[in-house]
Amino acid sequence: MDKLHEKYSHLLEYIKGLGSAAAAFSGGVDSAFLLAAAKEALGDEVIAVTAVSPSLPKRELADAEALCRQLSVRLTVFQSDELELEEYRKNPKNRCYYCKHRLFTRILEIAEKNGLAHVIEGSNKDDDGDYRPGMQALAKLGIISPLRECGFTKAEIRRLSQEMGLPTYDKPSAACLASRIPYGDEITAEKLCMAEQAEDMLVGLGLKQLRVRIHGDIARIEVLPEQFDTVMMHREEIVHKFRLIGFRYVSLDLQGYRTGSLNEAIN
């Protein structure tokens, strides 16, 4: 057994030691891998919990439902209400703290209602290198992050996900739609909807890892540099659609896609 598979065996033992759990499940790469491992370790003593809100793209919910059917895991879906929080809507630099605290408080309630001992979530070791105030909320609420605890990187998660037959193994990294709005700019359901519609349009053109950041009436498109040509090929179509969505100007970020680009303003 190589080191990666030894690490996975350790992960299973770690999760099994929890006894039972509710897994926060977004349908992304990390939470899918964690849910599959939890199902293997805990059997029917794990459920998946997905929050539905304007900040979650509808395509992510569909993916979450499909994977739960594949894994035979019971899925609980609830309506998240973070937009009711003034601290969240004002979009301060620690916005994620307020969102995660509200979100995981609800998941803890669901876990307790179902007689489950813990709540687990899918942060991995690579997440330690970015600005993530939401981690403070997780620590305060006692949420467990098995992938971080066991030292899994995103690359390792993708490799094992492929071996396990998970359709998420090559899925682009995702983040809530609020991450498209610069800190200090108010978060509204309208802006979140604009970002979702714009990104759905680009996905429909075959673009994969991407973000559409909203700067007032300007849409700043981030895609991988190797897909710049695709954007330019569909330039007129993109501009037309984005204007219908509500943007006045459309730009292509020449630095390309990068995780948490809006965090650059913090530094």
The answer on 150 and 72 residing in a single domain is yes
The reported pTM is: 0.91
Q: What share of the chain is helix, strand, coil (3-state, %, to 5)?
A: 55, 15, 35
Examine the fold and report which residue of 163, 196, 224 is the final residue of a domain before the chain moves on: 163
Query: Domain tally for the chain?
Result: 2
> Per-residue pLDDT for the chain (267 aa), expressed as one digit of tens each?
699 999 999 999 999 999 999 999 999 999 999 999 999 999 999 999 999 988 888 888 888 999 999 999 999 999 998 999 999 999 999 999 999 999 999 999 999 999 999 999 999 998 876 667 888 999 999 999 999 999 999 999 999 999 999 999 999 988 899 999 999 999 999 999 999 999 999 999 999 999 999 999 999 999 999 999 999 999 999 999 999 999 999 999 999 999 888 888 776
What's the domain range around 234? 177-265
Residue 85 confidence (pLDDT)? 92
Say whether both 143 and 195 belong to one domain: no
- Nearest-angstrom CA–CA distance, 82 and 227: 34
CA angle 69/75/79 to nearest 5° reads 135
Looking at the chain, which runs of residues are DSSP E strands?
Answer: 21-24, 46-52, 75-79, 118-120, 210-215, 218-223, 249-252
Q: Do 95 and 65 share a structural domain?
A: yes
Q: Distance between CA atoms of 113 and 260, rounded to whole angstroms?
A: 35
The last residue of a domain, from among 163, 198, 219 = 163
The answer to whether residues 59 and 191 belong to one domain is no
Q: Would you say residue 170 lies in a domain?
A: no
CATH number of the domain encompassing residue 258: 3.30.300
Give the relative orientation of helices 29-42 and 3-16 as an angle to the nearest 10 degrees: 60
Residues 156 and 232 in one domain: no
- Whether 87 and 209 share a structural domain: no
Q: How far is CA 149 from CA 71, 153, 158, 177, in A?
A: 23, 11, 17, 27
Instruction: Considering the candidates 99, 150, 176, 193, report the single residue annotated as catalytic.
Output: 176
Q: What is the pLDDT of residue 129?
A: 63
Cα–Cα distance measured from residue 38 to residue 41, given in angstroms and rounded to the nearest whole number: 5
Whole-number CA gyration radius for the chain: 19
* Position 171 in a domain: no
Does 64 lie in the same domain as 110? yes
* CA–CA distances in Å: residue 128 to residues 109, 131, 149, 161, 209: 27, 8, 11, 21, 21
Q: Catalytic residue at 176?
A: yes
- The whole-angstrom separation of Cα 22 and Cα 34 is 11
What pLDDT score was predicted for residue 267? 62
Phi, psi of 215 (to 5 degrees): -120, 85
Is residue 169 a part of any domain in this protein?
A: no
Last residue of a domain, one of 137, 163, 189: 163
Do 152 and 184 reside in the same domain of the chain?
Answer: no
Integer Cα distance of 31 and 195 in angstroms: 23
Q: Kind and range of the H or E element at 235? A: helix 235-245
